[in-house]
């Protein structure tokens, strides 16, 4: 953290002029946090859920990475060298990337605000951490197989198979009714935005009959999340982004429709 803070103070102080935007500096100087994110981002959505569940909207501005030139601009890369969102800028200008790190920071910093989103027992907290880790380590790195261009149909098919496998892994972990038991936690926040992608994309473009078929715990969990107005609003935001991609023929133009037409591979699970 000390290194990150030194970096941000350096950039804000002008020794690396033009690397950080004036606007970011001004927000940081005004003592407000900013979250770089866009509505369709599933990793960002888990942070938006925490912000809204804890009532932090007046403390954290949500801004598009486009305001500083986009995810791969020198300005953004100076803040997050991975060029990914979400990215939280703390009050003093410190950049904090990685959704799980941001989640844990907000839960810690605002422990007494709104819903705790932390499970009650060490065992339930371990379960929440495990489900989140499975999501972050085994699903997020391959989620692009659902919507990004890939050279080989074989590689895409392998990743789709792996998504189905990890869904079964999660089915075995979910305690019910929420991921870690009776209380909604940051693990639910991590999972449901990615499930919004599964629900929208897998049946329409990969021929899945039902993402929850044979996965009754996840099915019951999903119904519960849909009934949560904060989660429902975020699902709507993600859905809006994905519908925009569909309207722009993303799946056709990225060559996905053609690859999935290749029946030498299995696409539907
Ligand atoms: N491990 C990162 C993953 C972040 C991530 O992959 N974000 C996506 C949006 S949901 C992104 O920025 N994609 C743009 C890119 O990779 O160029 C996290 O949890 O924050």
Determine the distance separating the centroid of ligand 1 and the alpha carbon of 165, expressed in angstroms.
22
Binding site membership of 43 for ligand 1 (Cβ less than 6 Å): yes
246-267 per-position pLDDT tens digit: 999 999 999 999 999 999 999 9
Distance CA 67, CA 190 (A): 26
Residue found by looking up tokens 């392998």 in the block: 158
Q: Which is more confident, 206 or 8? A: 206
Binding site membership of 142 for ligand 1 (Cβ less than 6 Å): no
Give the angle 203-208-214 at the CA atoms, nearest 5°: 120
pLDDT value of residue 31: 75
Domain boundaries, the chain: 2-109, 122-260
Determine the distance separating the centroid of ligand 1 and the alpha carbon of 121, expressed in angstroms.
30
Measuring from atom 14 of ligand 1, which residue has the nearest CA?
84
Confidence of residue 75 (pLDDT cuts 50, 70, 90): very high
- The pLDDT of 93-107, averaged and rounded, is 98
Please state the atom number of ligand 1 nearest to the C-alpha of residue 82. 16
Q: Is the pLDDT of residue 17 over 90?
A: no
Q: Is the pLDDT of residue 94 over 90?
A: yes
Domain spanning 122-260: CATH 1.20.1050.10: yes
Region at 55 (left for phi over 0; alpha for psi -120 to 50; beta for the rest): left
Q: Is the pLDDT of residue 18 over 80?
A: no
Q: Which parts of 138-255 fold into alpha helices (H)?
A: 153-173, 186-206, 216-226, 229-247, 250-253
Q: Is the pLDDT of residue 16 over 60?
A: no
Residues 6+ apart with CB under 8 A from 183: 116, 119, 120, 124
Binding site membership of 85 for ligand 1 (Cβ less than 6 Å): yes
Tokens of 67: 């305001």
Fold of 2-109: Glutaredoxin (3.40.30)
Buried b (16+ CB within 10 A) or exposed e, 241-269: bbeebbeeebbeeeebeebbeeeeeebeb
Best residue for ligand 1 mutational test, from 35, 44, 84 (most atoms within 8 Å of Cβ): 84
Please state the atom number of ligand 1 nearest to the C-alpha of residue 86. 20
Q: Is the pLDDT of residue 4 over 60?
A: no
Q: Is the pLDDT of residue 8 over 90?
A: no
Please state the atom number of ligand 1 nearest to the C-alpha of residue 72. 17
């Amino acid at each position: 953290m000390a290194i990150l803070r030194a970096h941000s103070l350096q950039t804000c102080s002008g020794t690396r002029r033009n690397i950080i935007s004036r606007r970011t500096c001004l927000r940081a100087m005004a003592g407000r946090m900013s979250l770089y994110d866009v509505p369709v981002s599933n990793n960002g959505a888990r942070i938006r859920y925490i912000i809204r569940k804890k009532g932090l909207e007046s403390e954290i501005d949500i801004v598009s990475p486009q305001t500083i030139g986009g995810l791969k601009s020198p300005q953004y890369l100076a803040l997050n060298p991975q060029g990914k969102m979400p990215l939280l800028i703390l009050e003093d200008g410190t950049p904090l990337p990685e959704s799980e790190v941001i989640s844990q920071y907000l839960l810690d910093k605002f422990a007494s605000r709104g819903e705790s989103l932390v499970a009650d027992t060490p065992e339930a907290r371990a379960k929440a951490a495990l489900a989140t880790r499975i999501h972050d380590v085994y699903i997020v790195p391959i989620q692009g197989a659902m919507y990004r261009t890939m050279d080989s149909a074989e590689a895409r098919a392998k990743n789709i198979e792996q998504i189905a496998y990890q869904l079964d892994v999660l089915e075995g972990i979910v305690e019910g009714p929420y991921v870690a038991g009776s209380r909604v936690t940051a693990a639910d926040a991590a999972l449901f935005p990615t499930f919004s992608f599964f629900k929208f994309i897998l049946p329409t473009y990969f021929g899945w009959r039902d993402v929850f078929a044979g996965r009754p715990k996840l099915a019951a969990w999903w119904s519960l999340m849909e009934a949560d107005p904060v989660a429902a609003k975020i699902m709507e935001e993600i859905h809006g982004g994905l519908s925009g991609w569909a309207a722009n023929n993303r799946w056709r133009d990225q060559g996905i429709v053609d690859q999935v037409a290749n029946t030498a591979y299995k696409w539907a699970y």
